């Protein structure tokens, strides 16, 4: 049971809560530790200082009161007269916001988010400025780490795609052509041999033909020739035909594209679709799949819906709703985000899973 204690209506604490006094506001500001909150006079000199400011910047109130706030700016900003320009903008626009390097008392730098608000009196005269600073150093470090990781992933994916293309061309132009020539010679030889010997040669020819078929399928998986010769839609249609034929699924491919995506974006879209369809074939136990491509916001929105067992319920998938942690899911998301887009997976309205992703036309990373 929760007990509450009611205070009389004229209790001082309740009066302060309903009608905060100047002391209450000061107590609030002084208690904030995550932000440096202080006041400047109209010339930019510091006239108040809270505990957060002391914690972030290293100055005590005795150290800093009366000093000009430009002491927080590195030399290059002082040369450019940045502190004074910020005050001018705050006066003209009412407020100024910026992120950049600032200095602590010991001379070390930290990355700060700064908001300066101009304070005007009842008659419109400038009374001073309120300045709020937040230390964003750790946040910026994490962001830079993520950017660097995505850049490295982008280079890795780009190198992988180039190697796939090289291998595909080598297999097509060398191995397959050589085996086609062997098959032609076997056919000629079979026509010249007695029937009992010709049957053995024709069996060899059939084995060579089957091998050529497997190699051509490998070439397609490595680098669909339609991407280089025709279009993304044709490459996806070819791939869907193979996937549906091997698994017994029916498929539908819809597209409302204003134009063909750029080569790098097309490869990214195809690879994500390839991985999504592989997951459906392996885990979803689906009987039908639908793929749609639409031009949206200067990019391509792709939706892949199946009628299978749903997210996180397929064989081999986590059963606790964490299907997005599966390696294939991670690869799809990283490809989309490396390209500057986004990726998501959810329950399909008709049952099964719905994979949605968007890739911009102006590619932000590697394919």
Q: Which comes out higher in pLDDT, residue 326 or 346?
A: 346
The bridge status of strand 250-256 relative to strand 288-296 is parallel
Q: Which has the minimum average pLDDT: 5-9, 33-37, 94-98, 322-326?
A: 5-9
d(CA 155, CA 160): 8
What's residue 96's pLDDT? 96
Q: Is the pLDDT of residue 68 over 80?
A: yes
CATH of domain 12-135: 3.30.450.20
Q: How far apart are the first and last CA of the chain?
A: 60
pLDDT at residue 228, as a whole number:
67
Is the pLDDT confidence value at 17 over 70? no
Q: What does the pLDDT look like over 289-334, one tens digit per residue?
A: 999 999 999 999 999 999 988 775 444 344 334 344 466 788 898 8
User: Is the pLDDT at 126 greater than 90, yes or no?
Assistant: yes
* Bridge pairing between strands 35-40 and 109-120: unpaired
Cα torsion 205, 208, 212, 213: sign: positive
Residues 272-293, mean pLDDT to the nearest whole number:
89
Long-range contacts of 319-325 (CB under 8 A, 24+ apart): 323/353
- Give the per-residue pLDDT at 144: 85
Give the lowest-confidence range in 14-18, 135-139, 272-276, 277-281. Answer: 14-18
Q: Higher model confidence: residue 151 or residue 319? A: 151
Cβ pair 324, 361 in contact under 8 A: no
pLDDT score recorded for residue 15 = 47
DSSP 171-231: IIIIIIHHHHHHHHHHHHHHHHS-HHHHHHHHHHHHHHHHHHHHHHHHHHHHS-HHHHHS-
What's the burial of 211, exposed, middle or buried (CB within 10 Å: 0-12/13-18/19+)? middle
Report pTM.
Answer: 0.53
Say how far apart CA 261 and CA 298 lie, in whole Å.
10
Between 17 and 248, the more confident residue is 248
Q: Which residues, including other chains, have CB under 8 Å from residue 209's CB and lie 6 or more apart?
A: 183
- Give the pLDDT score at 2: 39
159 burial level (CB within 10 Å; 0-12, 13-18, 19+): exposed
Query: Which class does domain 225-367 fall in?
Result: alpha beta
Q: What are residue 24's DSSP bridge partners?
A: none
Kindly list the strands in the beta sheet with 299-306, ordered across the sheet, starting from the edge strand earlier in the chain.
250-256, 288-296, 299-306, 353-360, 342-347
Q: What letters, b where the CB count within 10 A reaches 16 and e where it falls short, cover 231-258?
A: ebbebbbebbeebbeebebebebebeee
Closest CA relative to residue 262, chosen from 294, 236, 298, 292? 298
C-alpha angle 320-326-331 in degrees, rounded to nearest 5: 150
pLDDT exceeds cutoff 80 at 26: no
- The overall average pLDDT reported for the chain is 82
Q: Which residues of 42-71 are buried (b: 16+ CB within 10 A; e: fewer)?
A: eebbbebbbebbbebbbbeeeebeeebbbb
Taking 70 as the threshold, does the pLDDT of residue 124 lie above it?
A: yes
């Amino acid at each position: 049971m929760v007990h509450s204690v009611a205070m009389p209506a004229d209790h001082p604490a309740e009066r302060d809560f309903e009608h905060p006094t100047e002391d209450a506001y000061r107590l609030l500001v002084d208690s904030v530790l995550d932000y440096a909150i202080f006041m400047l006079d109209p010339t930019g000199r510091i006239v108040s200082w809270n505990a957060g400011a002391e914690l972030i910047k290293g100055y005590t109130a005795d150290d800093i009161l009366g000093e000009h706030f430009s002491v927080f700016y590195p030399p290059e900003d002082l040369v450019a007269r940045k502190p004074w320009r910020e005050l001018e903008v705050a006066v003209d626009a009412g407020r100024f916001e910026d992120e950049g390097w600032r200095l602590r008392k010991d001379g070390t730098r930290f990355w700060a988010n700064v908001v300066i608000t101009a304070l005007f009196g009842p008659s419109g005269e400038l009374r001073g400025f309120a300045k709020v600073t937040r230390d964003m150093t750790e946040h910026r470090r994490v962001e830079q780490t993520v950017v660097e990781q995505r850049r490295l992933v982008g280079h890795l994916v780009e190198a992988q795609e180039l190697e796939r293309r090289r291998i595909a061309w080598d297999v097509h132009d060398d191995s397959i052509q050589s085996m086609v020539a062997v098959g032609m010679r076997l056919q000629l030889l079979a026509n010249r041999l007695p029937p009992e010997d010709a049957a053995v040669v024709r069996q060899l020819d059939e084995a060579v033909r089957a091998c050529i078929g497997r190699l051509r399928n490998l070439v397609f998986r490595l680098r669909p020739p339609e991407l280089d010769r025709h279009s993304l839609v044709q490459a996806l249609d070819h791939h869907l035909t193979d996937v549906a034929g091997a698994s017994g699924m029916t498929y539908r491919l819809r597209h409302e594209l204003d134009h063909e995506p750029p080569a790098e974006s097309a490869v990214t879209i195809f690879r994500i679709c390839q991985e999504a369809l592989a997951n459906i074939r392996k885990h979803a136990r689906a009987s039908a799949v639908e793929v749609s491509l639409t031009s949206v916001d200067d990019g391509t929105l792709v939706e892949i819906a199946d009628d299978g067992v749903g997210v996180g319920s397929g064989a081999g998938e986590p059963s606790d709703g964490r299907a997005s942690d599966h390696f294939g899911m991670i690869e799809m998301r990283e490809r989309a985000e490396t390209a500057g887009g986004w990726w998501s997976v959810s329950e399909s309205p008709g049952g099964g899973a719905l994979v949605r992703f968007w890739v911009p036309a102006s590619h932000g990373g590697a394919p």
